[in-house]
Amino acid sequence: MNLKDLLGNSKDNTLSGQKWHMLRQSIVKHLLSAGNATIAEISSELQSSVPTITKAVNELLVEGNVVDMGKISNSGGRRPSLYSINPTCAFFLGVEVSRTNMSIGLQNIKNEFISIDLRIPFALKNSQESLLEFCNLINNYIEESSVEKELIVGICINFSGRINSMEGFSYNYFFSENRPLTEIISEQLNLPVHLENDSRAMAFGEYCEGVVDDEQNIIFLNYSWGVAIGMITDGKLYYGKSGYSGEFGHSTIFDNEIMCQCGKLGCLETEISGWSLVNQFKAALEQGKQSKVVLSENSDLQHLDIIAGAVNLEDGLCVELVTKQSEKMGRYLSILLNIFNPDLLVIGGDFSQLGEYALLPIQSALKKHSLGLVNRDMKLKKSTLGHRVGVIGACCIVKEKMLSPLFKQ
């Protein structure tokens, strides 16, 4: 029995069979929490006899779910063996999709990457063909990996926009009224599928493996083509009633009559976002401003070109536009700080590549506009996981979700 099966219900319906199954689950749970343990430690923790635990651990060893780490040192007398979860007994797949590319990573149960492919070209379109191509890319990735598919416990896919993770619907991409998207993708991949909002997954990635130390109340800003936040309160991801929390970019705060991508006028994104940066850059050129970032007639200019222009070329216009946006961003973030009083604000997304060009204006605007007491209470950090953050978050989310039956006992 592999770990994936062990997470489910006992196939033996007798009382003793079910008890034995639960005992084995409890051993796995203890080893996942403790890292490693001796038979005597597990026996004391689970209040079960040493011979019983020895028998169960031996079964888990034979199945490949547990490994013998060798004898422990510095103990008098007979030295007992130390046992741990076998890192390769279960794997978790994380996928992040954006408008023009997708990233995939496969982690083992110890959160170590077996492989990760970032920014594979993929045009996200709301069509059946695009959905099939998306599923094929994931299936190919699994086939080409060194991992047997039956050891993959589940997959988490991050999309931008409105995601109802509980019911498995994505409202911005591949929306189907009749069936949850998780069900449709699961049929294609033959794996349990979980959907997540991209900014929320990024927040969780930083929380599990990134800049977060012991902070428990965190706002992660995903400042990219669009703008959204992921929130962690008391160490848990915050979803709101149906999972639509964090849509900071669609707060209608400007009287500018500019139409947002969501259809409303004057959203924050209409002046502060990757797509508005592109419009601001083009408008500045039309007004006669000069830039080293060459814009040919047919060029599909991206906000990343302007960010690179500021960082790599120190282009005056690029620097002017990104610092102006970042200062405005700081002003509106200060509203969130006053409301949430977080321990930590993480600046993530493509704009975090700007380093101090973004961080300094944000920091100074936060100082100026947020309440001193709130600002003094909070740390400001830049995301450190770069483009991997979403995939890491997805792997951590699906791992937590799939292992949750163990921790509910």
Query: What is the per-residue binding string for Zn ion in 124-163, x denoting contact by CB under 5 A?
Result: ----------------------------------------
228: contact with Zn ion by CB under 5 A: no
- The encoded tokens of residue 167 equal 């019911």
Stretch near Zn ion under the rule CB under 5 A, chosen from 8-16, 34-42, 172-180, 248-256: 248-256
Q: How far is the CB of 266 from Zn ion (least distance, A)?
A: 9
DSSP letter string, 128-149? HHHHHHHHHHHHHHHHHSSS-G
DSSP state of 304: H
DSSP letter string, 157-225? EEESS-EETTTTEESSSS--SSS-HHHHHHHHHTS-EEEEEHHHHHHHHHHHHSS-SS--SEEEEEESS
Q: Which is nearer to Zn ion, 109 or 260 (CB)?
A: 260
Stretch near Zn ion under the rule CB under 5 A, chosen from 107-115, 247-255, 342-350, 391-399: 247-255
Computed over its alpha carbons, how large is the radius of gyration of the chain?
A: 24
CA gap 205, 194 in Å, rounded:
16
**Residue in 326, 161, 307 with CA at minimum distance from that of residue 244:** 161
Q: How far is the CB of 260 from Zn ion (least distance, A)?
A: 3
C-beta contacts of 133-136 below 8 A and 24+ residues apart:
134/97, 134/102, 135/185, 135/188, 135/189
Q: Which is nearer to Zn ion, 160 or 323 (CB)?
A: 160
Q: How far is the CB of 267 from Zn ion (least distance, A)?
A: 3
Q: Which is nearer to Zn ion, 93 or 267 (CB)?
A: 267
- The encoded tokens of residue 403 equal 């292992």
Q: Which helix (H) or strand (E) holds 405?
A: helix 389-407
Query: Which residue(s) pair with 155 in the sheet?
Result: 93, 193
Q: Which is nearer to Zn ion, 24 or 250 (CB)?
A: 250
Sign of CA dihedral 360, 363, 369, 373: negative
Q: Which is nearer to Zn ion, 267 or 306 (CB)?
A: 267
Q: Which is nearer to Zn ion, 224 or 353 (CB)?
A: 224
Q: How far is the CB of 98 from Zn ion (least distance, A)?
A: 17
Stretch near Zn ion under the rule CB under 5 A, chosen from 140-148, 221-229, 242-250, 340-348: 242-250
267: contact with Zn ion by CB under 5 A: yes
Judged by CB under 5 A, which of 147, 151, 258, 262 binds Zn ion?
Answer: 262
Q: Which is nearer to Zn ion, 147 or 262 (CB)?
A: 262
260: contact with Zn ion by CB under 5 A: yes
Number of residues that bind Zn ion (CB under 5 A): 5
Q: Which is nearer to Zn ion, 267 or 392 (CB)?
A: 267
Q: How far is the CB of 209 from Zn ion (least distance, A)?
A: 31
β 66-71/36-37 pair status: unpaired
250: contact with Zn ion by CB under 5 A: yes
Sign of CA dihedral 45, 50, 56, 61: positive
Binding site for Zn ion (CB under 5 A): 250, 260, 262, 264, 267
